[in-house]
Amino acid sequence: MVRDTSAVVDEELALGLVAGDEACLAGAYHRWSPLVHTLARRSLGDAGEAEDVTQQVFLGVWRGRSTYRPERGALPGWIVGITRRRIADALAARTRRGDLLAAAGADLAVAEPVAGRPEAVLDRVVVRQELARLPAPQRRVLHLAFYEDLSQTQIAERTGWPLGTVKSHARRGLHRLRTSLTSTHKEQISAE
């Protein structure tokens, strides 16, 4: 049963949401998504990440609706609490991605070989081989990031992929590269 939730008071909206009424979820989204998006945008400084957080918040509202307790506070306060946790998660993920990018960037450095270090040529060959083994989307994202020096937002614009997809491809690609380069390095050491 779909109904207009614009005139529904918060308490009725909360009860309907807990009962699994999708119209109440839509009403809650319509009513509080601007607040959630604003909080995320201000905290993260990125509209794309704020959109991702907003979607995650309302997915969390729907999935966690059975845990909502009106006696503990109003529905908007509960939603803001979920928002704060999702923002913290996004900031932590950003930090992890930055650390991973920095570590992988050191492994993917494409500088000219240093005199007296002919193994640098071999390192570049190994990196290129490992990049070639990645699935095409991961390879493309990493190529755009490291060889064309594009940010993830710029990569999303160029490829037409959602920012979250670009981030996932970057994270998975870097993880696979790091794992394969680490195992290659260990093999080289044991062969010496």
The token pair that represents 172 in the structure block: 């998975």
Q: How far apart are CA 133 and CA 176, in angstroms?
A: 10
For 56-115, how does the pLDDT look when each residue is reduced to its tens digit (9 = 90+)? 999 999 999 999 988 888 999 999 999 999 999 888 887 777 666 666 665 555 544 455
Burial of residue 27 (number of CB atoms within 10 Å: 0-12, 13-18, 19+): buried
Please tell me the distance from the alpha carbon of residue 66 to that of residue 174, in angstroms, as a whole number: 37
Residue 185 has a pLDDT of 53
Percent of the chain beyond pLDDT 90? 32
Tokens of residue 82, six digits: 């979920």
pTM, full prediction: 0.53
Element (DSSP H or E) covering residue 53: helix 47-63
What pLDDT does 182 receive?
74
Instruction: Report the pLDDT averaged over residues 6-31.
Output: 87
Split at pLDDT 50, 70, 90, the class of 118 is low
**Average pLDDT over every residue of 16-37:** 93
pLDDT confidence tier of residue 2, bands split at 50, 70 and 90: very low
C-beta separation of 5 from 30 below 8 A: yes
SS3 151: coil
In which band, very low, low, confident or very high, does the pLDDT at 116 lie, cut at 50, 70 and 90? Answer: low
- 120 vs 9: CA distance, rounded Å: 67
| DSSP-H helix ranges across 69-135 | 75-107, 119-133
With a CB cutoff of 8 Å and minimum separation 6, the contacts of 106 are: none
